[in-house]
Amino acid sequence: MPKCMIRVLGKPILEWALDAILPHVQKAVIVVGYKKEMVTDYFSKKPYADRLEFVEQNEQKGTAHALLQAKNRVKGPFFTVNGDSFAEPALYAEALQRIREKPSGWFGITKQVQDARPFGLVHAEADGRISRFEEKPKQAQAGLVALGNYYLPDSFFDLLEKVPLSTRGEYELTDALNAFASEQVLTVQEFSGFRSEVTYFWNHLDLNIHALENLMDDTREGIIEPGAVVEGKLFLGKGSIVKAGSRIEGPAYIGENCLIGPNAFIRRGSVIENSCHVGTCEVKNSVIMNGANVPHYSYVGDSVLCEDVNLGAGSMIANLRFDNEPIQVRFKEGTVDSGRRKLGAAIGSGTKIGVNCSINCGILIGHDCKIFPGAKVTHNLDNQTVFKGD
C-alpha cells in the first residue's frame, strides 16, 4: 500500500494529519502516485471530501517535482505536509497557531536528533533564521533536521521550476529551499513532540505503541464476557467480543467485529484491526491487520501481520536472539540493524502458514505465500513463495 495509507490504530497516517489540519484551512491538495486509487477511494468517502483536491505525480522524480504538481491548485500561502510520516497532532496545532499570529512569517518545522544522516540537516543562525539545508549528511552528527513541514508563499513554485536534476537523478526540494532562504527570511520552528518516519516495520510498531499510550481514549463498545479480565486502557470496537478466560493488559486496541478468545492473552502494545480472530494465543506489541487470524495456540510478539494472514495451530514467531544482541534484518539492499533486542517478523497480506511452523526473529515474508506444516522459516521469503522447509 502507499505509505500514507499505513494505519495507526486503524487510521491511515495521512488521515491523522488531515483531521488535525482541515478544521483550520480552506482545502488540502494531495499529490498521489503509487496505487493512487487506494488514496482517492478512501478519502472520497470522508465528510470533508469536497475540500480535497488530488493531483497525480506520474513519475517519481523527487520531492520538488512532487510539490510542483500542486502549483495550479494553490493560490496564496500554503503549508506542506509529508503524507508518509506520522506526527502528533500538536505539531500541526503549533504550526497553525504561528500562522495565525504572523501570516507572512515563513518557517520550516525542525526537530533535534542525535543522528541527522537519514534526514535533511538544517543550518540555522542564532536568531533562528535558516541559512542552509543539507540533504542527508554523510557523517553522523546531532542537530536540527527538517520534517517536511514548511509555510511558504505561492511564489515558491517559481523556484521549484528552476531546480536542476541532482546527482541522484531527482529534483530535490532542498535545492529550492536553499534558493528561497538566500532571498527571504525563513526561520525554524522547533518541535519537541513525537514524530517518526515509517521506513521499517518496527517503526510501525513504535508509532502504534505511542498512539496507544498517548492518543487513544479508553472506549469499550464491544462485549466483554464475564470471566474476562481487562487491565489498563482498551479500545474495543463495535461487534467485537472478548470471550471468557481472556486477559488483556493495555494499552491495547481491538477494532470492530473481532473475536478474542476464549483464553487469549493480549499484552501491552497490541493493535488488532477489524474482523480478526485471536483464539487461545498470546499477542504482544504487535499489529494484526484487517481479516488476519491467529486462532489456535500461537505466539505473536513484536510483529506485523498484514491483511488476511492466517497462522496455523501451534505456529510460533520468535522475537529474541539467544545472545540477546540487537536483531539484524536482511533486505535486498543489505542488512539493517534494527537496534531492537526484541523483534519478530513482518508477514505480507494473504499469506497462509501451516500448523506447527516456527519463524525466526527479524524475518520478512512476502504476500500470498504458502508455508507448509512444520516448516522452519530461517530466511526471508519473497512474494508468492510456496515453502516446504529448508
Which 3-state string (H, E, C) describes the chain?
CCHHHCEECCEEHHHHHHHHHHHHCCCEEEEECCCHHHHHHHHCCCCCHHHEEEEECCCCCCHHHHHHCCHHHCCCCEECCCCCEEECHHHHHHHHHHHHHCCCCCEEEEEEECCCCCCEEEEECCCCEEEEEEECCCCCCCEEEEEEEEEECCCHHHHHCCCCCCCCCCCCHHHHHHHHHHHCCCEEEECCCCEEECCCHHHHHHHHHHHHHHCCCCEECCEECCCCEEECCEEECCCCEECCCCEEECCEEECCCCEECCCCEECCCEEECCCCEEEEEEEECCEECCCCEEEEEEEEECCEECCCCEECCCCEECCECCCCCCCEEEECCEEEECCCCECCCEECCCCEECCCCEECCCCEECCCCEECCCCEECCCECCCCEECCC
Rg of the chain over Cα atoms, rounded to whole angstroms, equals 23
Phi (first) and psi of residue 284, to 5 degrees: -140, 125
Q: Which residues are catalytic?
A: 296
